């Protein structure tokens, strides 16, 4: 809804007084995609992979997410990365408008690691797929990634 008349009060803006969702295309529209641990995406060391995605329509969106990593008890990990980007399975250049997280450290074998990837504004002129992706440097065994990607239309 566009408010161009300064005499219109904030109370005149379309809003909901209950726990329903804003309609598609309206201010406040919310979308989310979640991949649970049981459906985690297998990773290959040092290779970007998409965890999940959202198709966002034209407009201004705030997008945020979290990447989680699960690994075999014998897997050794030296780095994990998670990010939000409009290019499939491609590691962006930091700071990626605040939506990239990198942890370079020796991680506990067999332990799940969760990495908030930050939030960023994505302004779109047409429907575009936005990806939550991950990459890890690991050896010895297997590793997978899962997580959630959320978006709210801000204008």
Q: Is the pLDDT of residue 126 over 60?
A: yes
Q: Is the pLDDT of residue 116 over 80?
A: yes
Q: Is the pLDDT of residue 137 over 80?
A: yes
| Residue 65 and residue 134 in contact, taking contact as beta carbons nearer than 8 Å | no
Q: pTM for the full model?
A: 0.88
Looking at residue 8, what is its pLDDT? 53
Percent of the chain with pLDDT over 90: 74
**Tens digit of each residue's pLDDT (9 = 90 or more) over 6-59:** 555 555 566 667 788 888 988 999 999 999 999 999 999 999 999 999 999 999
Length, in residues, of the chain: 155
Contacts of 103 (CB under 8 A, 6+ apart): 79, 80, 81, 113, 115
Written as six digits, the tokens of 107 are 């991680």
**Tens digit of each residue's pLDDT (9 = 90 or more) over 46-94:** 999 999 999 999 999 999 999 999 999 999 999 999 999 999 999 999 9
Strand partners, 74: none
Written as six digits, the tokens of 99 are 């939506």
Q: In the CATH hierarchy, which fold is given to the domain comprising 29-153?
A: Jelly Rolls (2.60.120)
Q: Is the pLDDT of residue 1 over 70?
A: no
| Residue 27 and residue 14 in contact, taking contact as beta carbons nearer than 8 Å | yes
DSSP SS3 for 96: helix
């Amino acid at each position: 809804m566009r408010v161009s008349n300064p005499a219109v009060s904030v109370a005149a803006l379309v809003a909901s007084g209950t726990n329903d969702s804003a309609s598609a295309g309206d201010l406040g529209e919310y979308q989310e995609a979640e991949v649970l641990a049981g459906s985690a995406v297998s990773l290959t060391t040092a290779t970007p992979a998409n965890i999940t995605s959202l198709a966002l329509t034209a407009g201004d969106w705030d997008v945020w997410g979290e990447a989680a990593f699960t690994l075999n008890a014998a897997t050794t990990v030296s780095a994990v990365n998670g990010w939000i980007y409009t290019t499939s399975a491609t590691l962006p250049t930091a700071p990626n408008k605040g939506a990239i997280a990198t942890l370079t450290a020796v991680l506990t074998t067999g332990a799940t690691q969760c990495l908030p990837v930050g939030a960023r504004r994505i302004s779109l002129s047409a429907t575009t797929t936005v990806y939550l992706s991950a990459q890890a440097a690991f050896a010895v065994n297997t590793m997978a990634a899962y997580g959630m990607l959320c978006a709210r239309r801000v204008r």
